[in-house]
Amino acid sequence: EDQVTQSPEALRLQEGESSSLNCSYTVSGLRGLFWYRQDPGKGPEFLFTLYSAGEEKEKERLKATLTKKESFLHITAPKPEDSATYLCAVQAAGNTPLVFGKGTRLSVIA
Amino acid sequence: NAGVTQTPKFRILKIGQSMTLQCTQDMNHNYMYWYRQDPGMGLKLIYYSVGAGITDKGEVPNGYNVSRSTTEDFPLRLELAAPSQTSVYFCASYALGGAGYGYTFGSGTRLTVV
């Protein structure tokens, strides 16, 4: 069974304090690992897809990396507007539906 | 483009009532999904469809039904609502090989069963 575990459940940072969110996964043949951002009362918003170990992608203050067992979402010098829940999901081979983790709730305090 | 549109945004149902959650996408995506999200939990797959006329069960299908008569629409039917179906429901769509490769989600329907 495909599984995704995210840690920590919640993270509180001061503005400018860099940190990382972790996503550990087990999947039978990884086709892709996805990161989403979700604001309160809204649907998830797509951030990144990573396909193979060693791959990295960046968008503004966010950088996602992938190994064979986990992915990290690095947040550099975060701002209050980065506060959201960040969801990780995996897709197994065969174009199966995404399996999501429970998310990390990030709060950035000014 | 409107993307994925879900209606209604909020609904309160009494136990035993039925309702249909509507989902429409205007991106000509073949794949569509229904997820539910409970507090502190991730998204759990209810049903999905890979094209018009084709549907399949996800992780938590009990108490729900779906149909896919057109590419654009993927309604979710709740029969005999139960308190355990209180949740936020998200519809998503996806085009194989599409730009960004990610699912596009609607804004959700918040359902309370009392």
B51-92 pLDDT, tens per residue?
Answer: 999 999 999 999 999 999 999 999 999 989 999 999 999 999
pLDDT of amino acid A101: 97
Per-residue model confidence as pLDDT tens digits over B102-112: 899 999 999 99
Residues of A in contact with B45 (CB under 8 A): 97-99
Structural element, H or E, at residue A104:
strand A104-109
- Burial, A59: exposed, middle or buried (Cβ in 10 Å; 0-12, 13-18, 19+)? exposed
Chain A: give the shortest CA distance to residue B26, in Å: 17
Average pLDDT, chain B: 93
pLDDT of A16 over the 90 cut: yes
Structure tokens at B43: 């998204």
Q: B61 and chain A: CB distance < 8 Å anywhere?
A: no
* CA neighbor of A30 nearest in space, from A95, A76, A77, A85: A95
B97: confidence class by pLDDT, cuts 50, 70, 90: low
Asked whether the beta carbons of A76 and A18 are under 8 A apart, the reply is yes
Q: B89 and chain A: CB distance < 8 Å anywhere?
A: no
Asked whether the beta carbons of B113 and B13 are under 8 A apart, the reply is yes
Are B41 and A102 a contacting pair at CB < 8 A?
yes
pLDDT of amino acid B1: 64
* Nearest chain B residue to A102, by CA: B42
* Contacts with A40 (C-beta within 8 Å, 6 or more apart), sequence order: none
Give me the mean pLDDT over the A56-80 stretch: 97
pLDDT of amino acid A58: 96
d(CA A82, CA A13): 10
